[in-house]
Amino acid sequence: MVTNIEQGKKRFHFDRHAPEYRDRFEAITRDMQGQCPVAWTDTYGGHWVAAGAEQVFHLARSQVVSNDNDVDGARRGYTGITIPHAENPIRSGILEMDPPEHGAYRQVLNPYLSPAAVARWIPFVDDVTHACLDEKIESGGIDFVDDLANIVPAVLTLAMLGIPLHKWKVYSEPAHAALYTPPDSPDRERVLDLHRTMGTDLFATIHEVRQTPRPGLVDALVRAEIDGQVPPDIEILGMLNLLIGGGFDTTTALTAHAFEWLSQNPDERSRLDRERDSLLDSATEEFLRYFTPTPGDGRTICADYDYAGAGFREGERLWLSWAMANRDPSLFDDPDVVDLERKGNRHFSFGLGIHRCIGSNVARAVFKRMLLAVLDRIPDFHCSPDDAVHYETIGIIQGMRHLPATFTPGPRVGPGLDATLTRLQALCDEQGLAEPVTPRARFR
Ligand code: HEM
């Protein structure tokens, strides 16, 4: 509800970290879009919120916003993309950089995440997916989060980084748990411990790879030249944390929500299975739009600017809501309905502008391969609504902790996860799967 209007500030109470925001998301979105697609909220020290598609589109691509997280106080003291500000001495890689530094680092990542580079990983993703299903298929029960959607993106990300695959648990649990464990939880200390273990392993990996080159994104970063200099360890660590954060829980969240919806809509699931050649791409984009795994990101206004009834002033904070823009009826017909055939689905789920998700090819490919394998091998899965555990809040990731399902048991087709990872590790080492794909290599 808009409460008052003063000095170019339409005020709207908006707290995306409150459980109410998750529970009443559609009503709050309609309210804001109807009354004030750009509004000021007093939560978290006060900041702007952009909720309309046109406004989010414009602001995300404009020059008046900055992603910079000036952790050393060397520039203008801006605080990056989290609201409230995360007191972290390490910035979140390219996501918290502005041009020209941003572009220089992004170029280092491109050859590893391009469509051609990702296509090379498809058989690997299939093998990990089927190995996960093999672990459960004879029992007739699976937790889609713990037993599949948490594992496949984690193993693939480690492979792309050049980190040994058997370490996936060292990385997967802290990356996932950090997003659903509130600061006052009794489990917080354990999760922080897991994070410290992961950080120690990442530091050790950076040093190992510096000594002994091996293919992968870690190697690319330790050997990069940014403005004539080797990047400092702290920046490499920030980049790796971003790739892990970006690569793991987002794809997990998308997959879990899609499976839950398909279980609730068995006719649509059968149709998707039958018409997969024509529906797979549009269904993937629609799940991305509707569930928006990363609901929004913050910016700092870097120049005074009057726009959409808002008087932005330099230094103020702004929240770009990808999730609310994705439900704007001026851009999407029946935005609160999942339409697997939706045409021209120009959703906001990977962001927009220079920071648009560089992992979108990976995310789409991994999601599709997991979906197809599940449709092939356990097509009659049923998720019990009482046992599904959603993240209590959707301030950072719209995720799920657990999604247990039952299905008609089937036969294994391979030796299971551990043996498969051993074989795939050997394959990565022999074939240099994690090498960059340069344009020359692509045309060979
Ligand atoms: C469904 C899965 C995913 C979703 C919904 C998602 C969402 C996003 C969004 C919204 C942004 C833009 C943030 C902003 O502008 O503030 C972003 C950026 C980014 N994502 Fe993803 N992402 C996903 C998967 C991935 C994967 C698999 C990777 C890595 C392999 C990845 C790596 C990154 C990186 C490095 C950036 C920063 C790009 C830049 O600043 O130039 N993401 N992602």
Supply 68's token pair.
Answer: 């910079």
CB 179 within 8 A of CB 391: yes
| For range 402-431, the mean pLDDT | 96
**DSSP 8-class letter at 89:** S
CA dihedral 112, 117, 118, 121 (to 10 degrees): -100
Alpha-carbon distance of 290 to 265, in angstroms, equals 15
Angle ∠(210,215,220) on CA atoms, nearest 5:
60
Alpha-carbon distance of 295 to 348, in angstroms, equals 9
Alpha-carbon distance of 112 to 105, in angstroms, equals 13
Q: Which of 248, 357, 358, 368 to mutate to test the pocket of ligand 1 (most atoms within 8 A of CB)?
A: 357
Closest residue by Cα to atom 6, ligand 1, is: 350
Alpha-carbon distance of 56 to 168, in angstroms, equals 36
- Span 159-206, pLDDT tens digits: 999 999 999 999 998 888 887 887 778 888 998 999 999 999 999 999
User: What's the mean pLDDT when you consider all of the chain?
Assistant: 94
Alpha-carbon distance of 72 to 122, in angstroms, equals 41
Categorize the per-residue pLDDT at 142 as very low, low, confident or very high, splitting at 50, 70 and 90: very high
Ligand 1 and 328: CB distance under 6 A: no
Alpha-carbon distance of 238 to 202, in angstroms, equals 10
Name residues whose C-beta falls within 8 Å of residue 179's C-beta, 6 or more positions apart in sequence. Answer: 249, 391, 396, 397, 399
Ligand 1 midpoint to CA 177 (Å): 19
Supply 333's token pair.
Answer: 């017909």
Reduced to 3 states (helix: H, G, I; strand: E, B; else coil), residue 16 is: coil
**Residue 17: what residue type?**
H
By CB atoms closer than 10 A (0-12, 13-18, 19+), residue 324 is buried
Alpha-carbon distance of 53 to 154, in angstroms, equals 32
Does residue 1 register a pLDDT over 80? no
Query: Quick one: which of 396, 255, 322 has its CA closest to 50?
Result: 322
Query: Quick one: which of 219, 203, 221 has its CA closest to 106?
Result: 221
| For range 203-232, the mean pLDDT | 95
- Span 3-39, pLDDT tens digits: 555 556 788 998 988 899 999 999 999 999 999 999 9
Query: Residue 187: its pLDDT value, please?
Result: 86
Q: What number does the ligand 1 atom closest to the CA of 320 have?
A: 16
Ligand 1 and 300: CB distance under 6 A: no
Ligand 1 midpoint to CA 287 (Å): 16
Closest residue by Cα to atom 9, ligand 1, is: 350
Assign residue 212 a region (left: φ > 0; alpha: ψ between -120 and 50; beta: otherwise).
Answer: beta
Alpha-carbon distance of 201 to 147, in angstroms, equals 24
Alpha-carbon distance of 220 to 227, in angstroms, equals 15
Interhelix angle 249-264/266-274, nearest 10 degrees = 110
Supply 32's token pair.
Answer: 């804001």
CB 143 within 8 A of CB 404: yes
**Strand 305-307 with 310-312, pairing:** antiparallel
Query: Residue 199: its pLDDT value, please?
Result: 93
The backbone torsions φ and ψ at residue 143, rounded to the nearest 5 degrees and listed phi first, read: -100, 110
**Residue 116: what residue type?**
A
CB 247 within 8 A of CB 118: no
Tell me which of 1.10.630.10, 1.20.1250.20, 3.40.50.300, 1.10.150.20 is the CATH number of domain 2-443.
Answer: 1.10.630.10
Query: Residue 85: its pLDDT value, please?
Result: 87
Ligand 1 midpoint to CA 81 (Å): 13
- Structure-model confidence comparison of residues 315 and 441, the more confident one: 315
Q: What number does the ligand 1 atom closest to the CA of 96 have?
A: 40
Ligand 1 and 255: CB distance under 6 A: no
Ligand 1 and 258: CB distance under 6 A: no
By CB atoms closer than 10 A (0-12, 13-18, 19+), residue 430 is exposed
Query: Residue 443: its pLDDT value, please?
Result: 40
Ligand 1 midpoint to CA 219 (Å): 21
Ligand 1 and 436: CB distance under 6 A: no
Reduced to 3 states (helix: H, G, I; strand: E, B; else coil), residue 433 is: coil
Categorize the per-residue pLDDT at 253 as very low, low, confident or very high, splitting at 50, 70 and 90: very high
Alpha-carbon distance of 389 to 85, in angstroms, equals 27
Ligand 1 and 254: CB distance under 6 A: yes
Supply 248's token pair.
Answer: 């793991």
Ligand 1 and 214: CB distance under 6 A: no
Q: What number does the ligand 1 atom closest to the CA of 239 have?
A: 35
| For range 320-345, the mean pLDDT | 98
- Which residue ranges make up each domain of the chain? 2-443
Alpha-carbon distance of 60 to 97, in angstroms, equals 14
Alpha-carbon distance of 95 to 350, in angstroms, equals 12
Query: Residue 2: its pLDDT value, please?
Result: 54
Q: What number does the ligand 1 atom closest to the CA of 113 have?
A: 30
Query: Quick one: which of 14, 1, 23, 12 has its CA closest to 398?
Result: 23
- Span 47-96, pLDDT tens digits: 999 999 999 999 999 999 999 999 999 999 999 999 988 888 899 999 99
